[in-house]
Structure 1
Amino acid sequence: MTTNATRAVGVDIGGTGIKGALVDLNAGTLLSDRVKVPTPAGAEPDDVLAAVRIVLDTLGVTDADIPLGVAFPAIVKNGRTLSAANVAETWIGFEAEKFFEDGLGREIHFANDADVAGVAEVRYGAARGVDGLAILTTLGTGIGTAMLHNGILIPNSELGHLQRANKESDAEVWAAYSAVERESLSWEKWAKRLQWYYSYLEFLLSPDLFIVGGGVSKHADQFLPLLDLKTPIVPAVHRNNAGIIGAAALSVRVAEAVPAADA
């Protein structure tokens, strides 16, 4: 892994879109325009790889000397994807990191999309300098989560799949932002579902901070004030760019991504 880079590329693969940009690793900001292409229908590995190539070609950053991090919507352990959220079931048990490295002809860092968003917030955003347990939740098609204890990521937390007593659907089906769109919920009705979800997380984990990410976080003033929690809850700083920034940051060792003077 590169240790002397001040910039890197982050690619965030989602169920509907694949986006990427060049990132300033000292500031945690984008150095280029964000490039986005649709996720191919079916999201099979070969098609997703081809779309990632288009993103990198458009950015003009195919040079292997620039570190590359890739975020993916699945449990990721030792470079293998163990689940598949809004992508083909082919990814389950798939050697994804090696597949991308072979296909791109370069070393990459590959991780879960919510986890890399958490890394962006702990290094450059709302979780920076927070003692104790911070939990990032991304409210979108589903609910992604990242657990950060004293700034250290606890990977692959799937807290969006908490089960609801005597109900067939889990937390994310019922309380993700997609439920607002699917059922035409008002902010108030959605907030009642979020109240249940965050109260449950409070009871289970006693966190010190909740951070709300995803595109809907730009409307945080519409629903966060409706929640009654013991734990502070704030919108993510980097919103929909968090996956790009966090993926880029993970491609370089922490000592280089955040200067000692700012740590």
Structure 2
Amino acid sequence: MSVVLGIDIGGSGIKGAPVDTATGKLLEERHRIPTPEGAHPDAVKDVVAELARHFGIEGAIGVTFPGIVQHGRTLSAANVDKDWVGLDADALFTKATGQDVHLINDADAAGLAEARFGAGAGVDGVVLVLTFGTGIGSALIHNGVLVPNTELGHLWLRDKEAEGWASDRARERDDLNWKQWSKRVSTYLQHLELLFSPDLFIIGGGVSKKADKWQEHITLERSKLVPAQLLNDAGIVGAAMMAQEGGRGQDGQTRKTSAVKPAEKAASKAQKK
């Protein structure tokens, strides 16, 4: 059993737990600390260090971030302090904790976890994980390999950013019932179908808990759609998966983090024959 600490940075709280990366199970109850007001890097690093001390798990630590993460640097800051832009966050957190820390975009982390241990387990081809909340996060996975930082919530759709029109926040803001909101989501997903031809859509975020209210109203041309399974644990699990694989290779490039084990792929292909 390989135990890795995963930490998920959210807008209101920063939570973590040790993860058995062989099963995707949390080994202790999540510990949550409120996100410091403004989410400045120095304040957030102190919380991450506190969580590391709380659990006392040796080895690498995986941390999610609500923005673009490339080669350990955070390159966007939509809902956090602008000092994150261009920051070597891997180095900041590594120094703060005294352990190797590897960051990953929060939606990418959720996507990895869902593809390996959740609704996408064993699925070959293209899996597109979308998290509907304040915005729309996305994770694109092909045959178990993540294509990082897709940011598909920012696609331009009907003269608007998609997440400003079809997110869960937009549903609440515009006082839409679930059927009305589902019509917008269907338009968005059909656009993604044309661009990526996914075999499977996995819908996460807070709306995944209420799939019975909207799923039957979603209309797609050819892709299958299912709600996410891991819910609030997905970011923690995905962060731990990334950290276990080292986050970056010796050349500084982000490693391809596989969401599906080779043995699982072989078994799946054998079943199809």
Aligned counterpart in structure 2 of residue 7 of structure 1, from 3, 6, 18? 3
Amino acid at match of 2:232: N
Q: Is the counterpart of residue 162 in structure 1 residue 155 in structure 2?
A: yes
Q: Is the counterpart of residue 225 in structure 1 residue 216 in structure 2?
A: yes
Q: Is the counterpart of residue 235 in structure 1 residue 227 in structure 2?
A: yes
Q: What is the DSSP-based 3-state SS (H/G/I as helix, E as strand, rest coil) of the residue aligned with 1:87?
A: coil
Tell me what 1:176 maps to.
167
Residue 55 of structure 1 deviates from its aligned partner by: 2.6
Aligned counterpart in structure 2 of residue 86 of structure 1, from 58, 65, 79? 79
Q: In 1, are the aligned partners of 2:16 and 2:32 still within 8 Å (CA)? A: yes
Tell me what 2:136 maps to.
143
Cα distance in structure 2, aligned partners of 1:225 and 1:184: 20
Aligned pair in 2 of structure 1 residues 14, 248: CA closer, same or farther (>3 Å)? Answer: same
Residue 29 of structure 1 deviates from its aligned partner by: 0.9
Cα distance in structure 1, aligned partners of 2:135 and 2:259: 29
Cα distance in structure 1, aligned partners of 2:194 and 2:170: 24
Cα distance in structure 2, aligned partners of 1:132 and 1:158: 20
Aligned counterpart in structure 2 of residue 193 of structure 1, from 184, 201, 206? 184
Q: Which runs of 5+ in 2 are unaligned?
A: 246-255, 266-273
Amino acid at match of 1:197: Y
Tell me what 1:98 maps to.
91
Indicate the percent of aligned positions where both proteins have the same amino acid. Answer: 48
* RMSD of Structure 2 on Structure 1 (CA): 2.1
Q: Is the counterpart of residue 70 in structure 1 residue 50 in structure 2?
A: no
Residue 56 of structure 1 deviates from its aligned partner by: 2.8
Tell me what 1:249 maps to.
241
Q: Which runs of 5+ in 1 are unaligned?
A: none
Tell me what 2:252 maps to.
none
Cα distance in structure 2, aligned partners of 1:92 and 1:213: 26
Aligned pair in 2 of structure 1 residues 208, 261: CA closer, same or farther (>3 Å)? Answer: closer
Cα distance in structure 1, aligned partners of 2:131 and 2:124: 21
Tell me what 1:27 maps to.
23
Amino acid at match of 1:123: R
Q: What is the DSSP-based 3-state SS (H/G/I as helix, E as strand, rest coil) of the residue aligned with 2:22?
A: coil
Q: In 2, are the aligned partners of 1:174 and 1:193 still within 8 Å (CA)? A: yes
Cα distance in structure 2, aligned partners of 1:120 and 1:82: 23
Moved more, 47-56 or 192-201: 47-56
Aligned pair in 2 of structure 1 residues 115, 255: CA closer, same or farther (>3 Å)? Answer: closer
Aligned counterpart in structure 2 of residue 51 of structure 1, from 47, 51, 55? 47
Residue 237 of structure 1 deviates from its aligned partner by: 1.5
Q: In 2, are the aligned partners of 1:25 and 1:258 still within 8 Å (CA)? A: no
Residue 41 of structure 1 deviates from its aligned partner by: 1.0
Tell me what 1:215 maps to.
206
**How many aligned positions are there?**
254
Q: What is the DSSP-based 3-state SS (H/G/I as helix, E as strand, rest coil) of the residue aligned with 1:19?
A: strand
Cα distance in structure 2, aligned partners of 1:27 and 1:227: 31
Q: What is the DSSP-based 3-state SS (H/G/I as helix, E as strand, rest coil) of the residue aligned with 1:193?
A: helix
Cα distance in structure 2, aligned partners of 1:36 and 1:180: 28
Aligned counterpart in structure 1 of residue 125 of structure 2, from 118, 132, 137? 132
Q: Is the counterpart of residue 18 in structure 1 residue 14 in structure 2?
A: yes
Amino acid at match of 1:243: G
Residue 257 of structure 1 deviates from its aligned partner by: 9.5
TM-superposition CA deviations, 1:118-140 (whole Å, max 9, x none): 11112211222212111000111
Amino acid at match of 2:229: V
Aligned pair in 2 of structure 1 residues 156, 256: CA closer, same or farther (>3 Å)? Answer: closer
